[in-house]
Structure 1
Amino acid sequence: MKLAINGFGRIGRTILRQLLALPLGQDIELVLINDVAPLETCAYLFKYDSTFGPYPGAVETGTASIIVDGHTIPVTHSPDLSRVDLTGVDVLMDCTGIARTSDVASQGLTAGASKVLISGPSPATEVTIVLGANEDQLGDARIVSNASCTTNGLAPLVKVLDRIGGIAAAHMTTIHCYTNSQPMVDAPRGDLARSRAGALSMVPTTTSATHLIDEVMPHLAGRISGAAVRVPTASVSAVDLIVTLERGMSETAFDTALREAIAHSSVLGWTDQPLVSSDLRTRPESLVLAGPETRMVGKNQVRVFGWYDNEWGFSARMLDVARLMTKS
């Protein structure tokens, strides 16, 4: 599979780190990076990462390329991807965060790529796919959204809980680390609360996961609400989910069913250790459930809590969904 990355930011760089860690012989080749930043800046930010630490291998720049551990990756700097030659590329990963209109989202196809995978919600896609929730809906779609990091954590869990006891109603709060959408110092933003310094306060705000769950799992539309609290940490977020089950059960029966379902999931994990957020950095799962935090009130209400590395886990799902797209 030949991949190209458009937008070498947090997700684009994390995807490259994961690609380089794959065992030798994996049939995945990164053939191009496109980013508007200067070549030296792209190489520097890949080598020195404030969240994941310095890349342990060699990172150099060549003539219009980044050379990582001897692998030469061509780099272009076009703000209009349709002007870049992507002939032979199986999947173009658009990690710019701006592919929200059909003309921008389709630039990769115009440039010659067979398919486009967007690293976030986008109304311009043919389908939104969350691994572990609705991958059977992929079909032969050419422009696909990988949803959001929170939706990737929430939707597979919701599917499991709906299968175990049925979901009558639920509310999710994501306790989310700050992101580049927030200012470092107080500065105007559309959302007044998100105009405040992201590393100094807990900031209540909205989450795209609420409407994305309705899109990914339409049979539950209107049953799940959600909110977010941005907190002053640099990485790893959490899902705090309160569910009213349609079918009551004992806490023991629920715990047994949940553990069994997680054990058979390819994207959900489990821990019985009293972990904190920094312990989950670089975990590849979409969500790691915290066993000690599971609570049940009566026979129908349950609280489930899970951790997710919103960059590393989401990037892992980008690669997983790209593999599925080349098989469809």
Structure 2
Amino acid sequence: MTRVFINGFGRIGRTLFRQILTGDTGLDIVGINDIASLETCAYLLRYDSVYGPLPAEVVTGPGWIEVAGRRIAFSQQADLRALDLSGVDVVLECTGRATTRTVAEAGIDAGARDVLISGPSAAADATVVLGANDQDLGDARIVSNASCTTNAIAPLLRLLDLGLGIETAHVTTIHCYTGSQPTVDAPGPSPERSRAAAVSMIPTSTSAAAQVVGVLPEFRSRLSIAAVRVPCLSVSAIDAVIQTHEDIEQPVADFLKEALAESPLIGLTSDPCVSTDLRARPESLVLALPETMTTGPRQLRLLGWYDNEWGFSARMIDMARRMAARSGPLG
């Protein structure tokens, strides 16, 4: 069993907890750290506006949280170095603060073997997206799991490039609003990101543009990515227009069904779905076959859904297992 420690009990930290609690992940949560009130963290775990109430009893006590009879240590340290993390295989670093080396390596300084960061980080030893650049994991001890959108786009581009040959690609991510946006108009990092998140569709930038090229450098001059934030609480989408090198001879739906028949990363749906239908799907991306189009012999349009919290957390679990498997769990 891989021993993991969750640092940061926000959206991703709690989503990871739910998946590990209810699934056969091979991970054992040995501790949680968050500077917020223990009672508040327990309440937000018990009641979730996206995924609904947790199907288990949640109780708390001094320095611990107990869920479904499983008691887990809960600390409130601003600096992980104040804790003893000896015996921890992987710190799931979910604070959003691990953008400097000092913060990123704090878990290792506290005694853990590896750190997996739940977002882009230039401080990581490697950025790895499963299905895109798995081979880059190597023996990196501090790993970035990139972003949810990067996990949705990069494996798809790699698949299509290998199977059809991509000349150029443009991808628009249609992303639900997040905690980085204001609920009412307020000064922000850009004029459009200063507007109320749940009222308007908001054109903006995305870190996925640099992240995808970082894990797939061969796309540096072949790819553009745009983003629109939309007033939805969960589940995002990508709309991709692909120009292929050669004529597309096989029906695209048939190609996708064959190529993705056993893929745990990219799913398919033949149903006329809307975004809420894809909530809590574990794949990095679910392609909507009814939305697949071709224009002429070499232009392909694809629409794919992704639960930007649940699917991303599922990849963190996969990555944590892979990191621990390099030399076996410490426990």
Residue of structure 2 in register with 1:219 after alignment: 218
**Structure 2 partner of 1:95:** 94
CA distance in 2 between counterparts of 1:54 and 1:266 reads: 27
Q: In structure 1, the residue corresponding to 2:138 is in which secondary structure?
A: coil
- 1-structure distance, mates of 2:120, 2:26: 28
Shift of 1:27: 3.7
Q: What aligned pairs does 1:141-156 form with structure 2 within 5 A after superposition?
A: 141-156=140-155
Indicate the SS of the match to 1:82. Answer: helix
- The amino acid across from 2:23 in the alignment is L
In the alignment, residue 255 of structure 1 is paired with which amino acid?
A
Q: Distance in 2 between matches of 1:209 and 1:142?
A: 23
1:12 — aligned with what? 13
Paired residues of 1:160 and 1:258 also in contact (CA < 8 A): no
- SS of structure 1 residue aligned to 2:18: helix
Whether 1:258 aligns to 2:256 is yes
Question: What's the CA shift for 1:195?
Answer: 0.4
Task: Tell me the amino acid that sits aligned with residue 321 of structure 1.
Answer: M
- Please state whether the residue corresponding to 1:263 is helix, strand or coil: coil
Q: CA deviation at 1:135?
A: 1.1
Segments ≥4 residues shifted beyond 6 Å: none
Point out the more displaced range, 279-288 or 129-138.
Answer: 129-138
Letter of the aligned partner of 1:299 in structure 2? Answer: P
Name structure 1 gaps, 5 residues minimum.
Answer: none
- Letter aligned with residue 88 of structure 2: V
Distance 2:14 2:251 in 1: 43
Q: Which amino acid aligns with 2:18?
A: R
The alpha-carbon deviation at position 240 of structure 1 amounts to 0.5
* 5+ residue gaps, structure 2: 327-331
Q: Is the 8 A contact 2:281 2:306 kept in 1?
A: yes
Shift of 1:282: 0.4
Instruction: Say what the alpha-carbon RMSD is for the aligned residues.
Output: 1.0
1 CA distance for matches of 2:146 and 2:26?
25
Shift of 1:103: 0.7
The percentage of counterpart residues that share the same residue type is 55
Report the counterpart of residue 64 of structure 1 in structure 2: 63
- For the Cα contact (< 8 Å) 2:26–2:321, is it kept in 1? no
* 1:119 equivalenced with 2:118 (yes/no): yes
Aligned length: 325
Which whole-Å CA distance do the structure 2 matches of 1:317 and 1:142 have between them?
17
| Equivalences for residues 236-275 of structure 1 within 5 A | 236-250=235-249, 252-275=250-273
- Cα deviation for residue 255 of structure 1 reads 2.7
Letter of the aligned partner of 1:53 in structure 2?
A: G
Distance 2:132 2:289 in 1: 21
Structure 2 counterpart of 1:240, one-letter code: D
Tell me how far 1:286 sits from its aligned partner. Answer: 0.5
> In structure 2, how many angstroms separate the alpha carbons of the residues matched to 1:27 and 1:220?
35
Cα distance in 2 for residues equivalent to 1:237 and 1:327 = 31
Between the aligned partners of 2:246 and 2:88, the Cα distance in structure 1 is 48
Q: What's the TM-score once normalised by structure 2's chain length? A: 0.96
For residues 303 and 284 of structure 2, the distance between their equivalents in structure 1, rounded to whole angstroms, comes to: 13
Counterpart amino acid of residue 106 in structure 2: Q
* 3-state DSSP of counterpart to 2:260: helix
* Aligned residue runs from structure 1 range 85-234, under 5 A: 85-234=84-233
- What do residues 20-40 of structure 1 show as CA deviations (whole Å, max 9, x unaligned)? 1124xx642100100000110
The 8 Å contact of residues 132 and 265 in structure 1, kept in 2 or not, is answered as: no
The answer to which of 191-200 and 256-265 deviates more is 256-265
